[in-house]
Chains A and B, each alone.
Chain A
């Protein structure tokens, strides 16, 4: 039996007055043993990140530990003084963060930042430190470790940066590794690699890992044991298999059910007529370059041809940098394609002038990814929704009245129109974004990652709403996503993009059921918890 590394005993963390609840964590008790991965799962606001920061004693000033004990290495971390804590941090407990871009100092080299671990906690000479840094970078399988050590964070890709973070965290062989959503910001194939890396290193070094995530797919992939949190309290914990296959608490069941199934629903009958046909669209970005010197040419979209039948949903899936967002922006003409045609209801959009586009734009509308950034914070929700129709000549009072009806349509209280965007939750904001797009009664809706910034349960609600609207209003939708599960759930047709080109397209069930292109196969096999969902889907079916 492995020994317990960290145990929390009735840990309670107080939030400042005026927060939505008095305690960030209430009576949290759990333990992590060496050589095991304990996953802490919960939606945003459940207090899981707060717990990680509490263990490191890195809570913001206005948040304090009220009571409880955190036993690590024979002492209570709640009672440790700052100097003792500094010895524990890094050497005893190390941490990896979600955002590998911002978690590294942009002005210092990777090698320098990893080496700092040794400089703080050991008295090793410089040459020895450099050798160890290289060995660590090799351990995390960064290509060309020598160059990576000399590189600055912005010169590495997201996955490589996260590898560097892991190298840094494991530098001093800590007994406990806390990983706070380490793969959330990464592409699905990169995510799979990083998860495997963490698993491998953990098994080799017998480290205890406290893995924080919101994604049950990741849990199925990596966890030995699971702790489910809601509103700062643990609602269920147990071995991974038990929790996943036989959840006891209603909240756990709800979370697991909200993970979209991988298999597509039975195909709907699609109309024979196409509302939108895209033919040979290309877009090339040219950056830098003064008088043609040092110019960098990026082919963002390469000769893409797609067709969208009336009333259907076409999913465009791909990883970041595959050109899917550029394509979406070309379709609504926020940017101009270099060549090709985009025919909507008989008119070629790619050839229309600026003025015509403004007039015609009500036929095609866009929903954006970030519900926080895409709404003007200084305007009331109803005005935001009514703005489009007003610009296109509707009377102000009529437009506002229609906006209120739309609120009801997207499942918001009509009186919510008098509130400002910051008074809504993420899911509600995305509903406002939808209402805004629908206000112009478009034929085609282009949704660019509309549910990526949302929690799983909220995600499921928004997807359901979108499916309902599609039926009700006869909308045709282009749905852009990096999440194959989401695509499987809502799309009739799907196109897989890689490096600006469409590598495979067809009916969702066919593409996902019998992927032909190796890239599609790779994407599908990289989905975390794929086996688990497939098993579950089979059971349901």
Chain B
């Protein structure tokens, strides 16, 4: 109960942050030359100044910047994300269509990175300064230093073009829309390469953190106590070290949820996935302010939710947190 109220308080504290971010993005976009109407006119193949004037009036773009901002926030408070003039649909609908691939991609890469980061981190820490450690640490450095788009392209070249094992892009097979279990398998096959591409960099980070925190915990006094009890090395790790070493990893997940959303923009573009990241990119190009702000809002919500879960998890893992509440 105490933990819940603690996390709830943190949640409430993030609301002002959310508004500050929205206002910041809004003002930043005002600095960019051109607006939605310019993009629309360009799509239509040009038009006269009077039409542009009319369109601006229709979308409320002729108002002053503070008035526009005020309008937007007033709508937002009533949970109305506005209307996207480019897609011709409410922003909420546009985002909801694009949300599932991104969430799937994020969850999959996060789980992949977390699980293998943990396993490799433990292996590296147990063989510290011997060959498993050197191999894993070097590979980790390589993954970390390589840009993700290059990984994506190479993965496409090897697995899609050359070996023809996996599809090169998209979210599902467009030719034959499948349902049920086959549909799930189809989506899974499409997501393998993007997940690996996005996950590898985070895997490298997690593995380094896990290795470092394992080494630190292994040096603590209670590990010596555990050994003095007569526990064998495997049980020392599983019963005493692992949970203590996991604490920094869990913190990191919360911190990196946002980074991961950013990384998915690149990966979604490389694998032409119809996700939130690409939508964001397109909205910037098309000056679709309403959609962009909507995406920022939803992404921020996602990050807040992830952090909320991480808080709860952390309190579950570490009994000292609940006491300090």
A222 CB within 8 Å of chain B: no
A95 CB within 8 Å of chain B: yes
The answer to whether A155 touches B230 (Cβ under 8 A) is no
> CB-CB < 8 A to B231: which residues of A?
86, 116, 120
Distance between Cα atoms of A90 and B232 in the complex (Å): 12
> CB-CB < 8 A to B227: which residues of A?
56, 58, 89
The answer to whether B230 touches A89 (Cβ under 8 A) is yes
B181 CB within 8 Å of chain A: no
B323 CB within 8 Å of chain A: yes
The answer to whether A288 touches B325 (Cβ under 8 A) is yes
Closest to B128 in A: A61
> CB-CB < 8 A to B325: which residues of A?
288, 294
The answer to whether B317 touches A86 (Cβ under 8 A) is no
Distance in Å: Cβ of A276 to nearest Cβ of chain B: 37
A87 CB within 8 Å of chain B: yes
A223 CB within 8 Å of chain B: no
Distance between Cα atoms of A168 and B231 in the complex (Å): 14
The answer to whether A90 touches B224 (Cβ under 8 A) is no
The answer to whether B221 touches A290 (Cβ under 8 A) is no
The answer to whether A105 touches B228 (Cβ under 8 A) is no
Distance between Cα atoms of A95 and B226 in the complex (Å): 10
Given known contacts A86-B231, A89-B230, A152-B320, is B240 in contact with A105 (CB within 8 Å)? yes
Given known contacts A58-B224, A102-B220, A102-B221, is B243 in contact with A107 (CB within 8 Å)? yes
Closest to B247 in A: A107
The answer to whether A103 touches B222 (Cβ under 8 A) is yes
A99 CB within 8 Å of chain B: yes
Closest to A293 in B: B5
A contacts, CB < 8 Å to B: 56, 58, 82, 86-91, 94-95, 97, 99, 102-108, 116-117, 120-121, 152, 154-155, 165, 168, 288, 290, 294
The answer to whether A88 touches B230 (Cβ under 8 A) is yes
Closest to A86 in B: B230
The answer to whether A105 touches B230 (Cβ under 8 A) is no
Distance between Cα atoms of A323 and B227 in the complex (Å): 38
The answer to whether B221 touches A116 (Cβ under 8 A) is no
**Closest 3 interchain pairs by CB?**
A90-B230, A89-B230, A102-B221
Q: Which residues 226-281 in B have Cβ within 8 Å of A in the complex? A: 226-232, 235, 239-240, 243-244
Identify 4 new A-B residue pairs, CB closer than 8 A, beyond the known A90-B229, A102-B222: A86-B230, A97-B221, A103-B221, A116-B231
What number of A-B contacts does a CB cutoff of 8 Å give? 75
> CB-CB < 8 A to B232: which residues of A?
82, 86
B178 CB within 8 Å of chain A: no
A sample of 19 inter-chain contacts (CB < 8 A) reads A89-B229, A90-B230, A95-B225, A95-B228, A97-B224, A97-B225, A103-B224, A105-B225, A106-B222, A106-B320, A107-B244, A108-B239, A116-B229, A116-B239, A117-B229, A120-B230, A152-B323, A154-B323, A155-B323
Distance in Å: Cβ of B218 to nearest Cβ of chain A: 11
> CB-CB < 8 A to A294: which residues of B?
325
B318 CB within 8 Å of chain A: yes
B9 CB within 8 Å of chain A: yes
The answer to whether B320 touches A105 (Cβ under 8 A) is no
Distance between Cα atoms of A39 and B218 in the complex (Å): 29
> CB-CB < 8 A to B324: which residues of A?
288
> CB-CB < 8 A to B229: which residues of A?
89-90, 116-117, 120, 168
B180 CB within 8 Å of chain A: no
Distance between Cα atoms of A165 and B225 in the complex (Å): 9
Given known contacts A88-B230, A116-B239, is B320 in contact with A104 (CB within 8 Å)? no
> CB-CB < 8 A to A155: which residues of B?
323
Distance in Å: Cβ of B20 to nearest Cβ of chain A: 22
The answer to whether B230 touches A91 (Cβ under 8 A) is yes
B319 CB within 8 Å of chain A: yes
> CB-CB < 8 A to A154: which residues of B?
319-320, 323
Distance in Å: Cβ of A119 to nearest Cβ of chain B: 9
Distance between Cα atoms of A165 and B229 in the complex (Å): 11
Closest to B246 in A: A107
- With beta carbons under 8 angstroms apart, the residue of A97, A103, A106, A288 that contacts B244 is A106
Distance in Å: Cβ of B323 to nearest Cβ of chain A: 7
Distance in Å: Cβ of B271 to nearest Cβ of chain A: 40
Closest to A287 in B: B324
Distance between Cα atoms of A121 and B232 in the complex (Å): 11
Contact with A along B203-217 (1 / 0, CB 8 A): 000000000000000
Distance in Å: Cβ of A288 to nearest Cβ of chain B: 7
> CB-CB < 8 A to A88: which residues of B?
230
Given known contacts A97-B224, A116-B239, is B230 in contact with A290 (CB within 8 Å)? no
> CB-CB < 8 A to B323: which residues of A?
152, 154-155
The answer to whether A290 touches B319 (Cβ under 8 A) is no
Contact with A along B1-33 (1 / 0, CB 8 A): 000000001000000000000000000000000
Distance between Cα atoms of A458 and B194 in the complex (Å): 64
> CB-CB < 8 A to A103: which residues of B?
221-222, 224-225
Distance between Cα atoms of A89 and B228 in the complex (Å): 5
Distance in Å: Cβ of A285 to nearest Cβ of chain B: 14
> CB-CB < 8 A to A116: which residues of B?
226, 229, 231, 239
The answer to whether B222 touches A105 (Cβ under 8 A) is yes
> CB-CB < 8 A to B221: which residues of A?
97, 99, 102-103
Distance between Cα atoms of A117 and B227 in the complex (Å): 11
The answer to whether A105 touches B226 (Cβ under 8 A) is yes
- With beta carbons under 8 angstroms apart, the residue of A86, A91, A104, A121 that contacts B225 is A104
Distance in Å: Cβ of A122 to nearest Cβ of chain B: 11
| Most chain A beta-carbon neighbours within 10 Å: one of B9, B221, B222, B320 | B222
Distance between Cα atoms of A91 and B229 in the complex (Å): 8
The answer to whether A90 touches B239 (Cβ under 8 A) is no
Given known contacts A116-B229, A120-B230, is B319 in contact with A107 (CB within 8 Å)? yes
The answer to whether A87 touches B228 (Cβ under 8 A) is no
| Most chain A beta-carbon neighbours within 10 Å: one of B224, B225, B317 | B225
> CB-CB < 8 A to B230: which residues of A?
86-91, 120-121
Distance between Cα atoms of A107 and B321 in the complex (Å): 11
Distance between Cα atoms of A97 and B229 in the complex (Å): 12
Distance in Å: Cβ of A367 to nearest Cβ of chain B: 29
Contact with A along B306-325 (1 / 0, CB 8 A): 00000000000111100111
The answer to whether B228 touches A56 (Cβ under 8 A) is yes
Distance between Cα atoms of A155 and B319 in the complex (Å): 10
> CB-CB < 8 A to A152: which residues of B?
319-320, 323
> CB-CB < 8 A to B239: which residues of A?
108, 116
The answer to whether A104 touches B228 (Cβ under 8 A) is no
> CB-CB < 8 A to A117: which residues of B?
229
> CB-CB < 8 A to A91: which residues of B?
230
> CB-CB < 8 A to A56: which residues of B?
227-228
Given known contacts A89-B227, A94-B228, A152-B320, is B9 in contact with A290 (CB within 8 Å)? yes
Distance in Å: Cβ of B111 to nearest Cβ of chain A: 23
Distance between Cα atoms of A90 and B224 in the complex (Å): 12
Distance in Å: Cβ of A104 to nearest Cβ of chain B: 6
Closest to B9 in A: A290
The answer to whether B317 touches A107 (Cβ under 8 A) is yes
> CB-CB < 8 A to B224: which residues of A?
58, 97, 103
Distance in Å: Cβ of A61 to nearest Cβ of chain B: 10
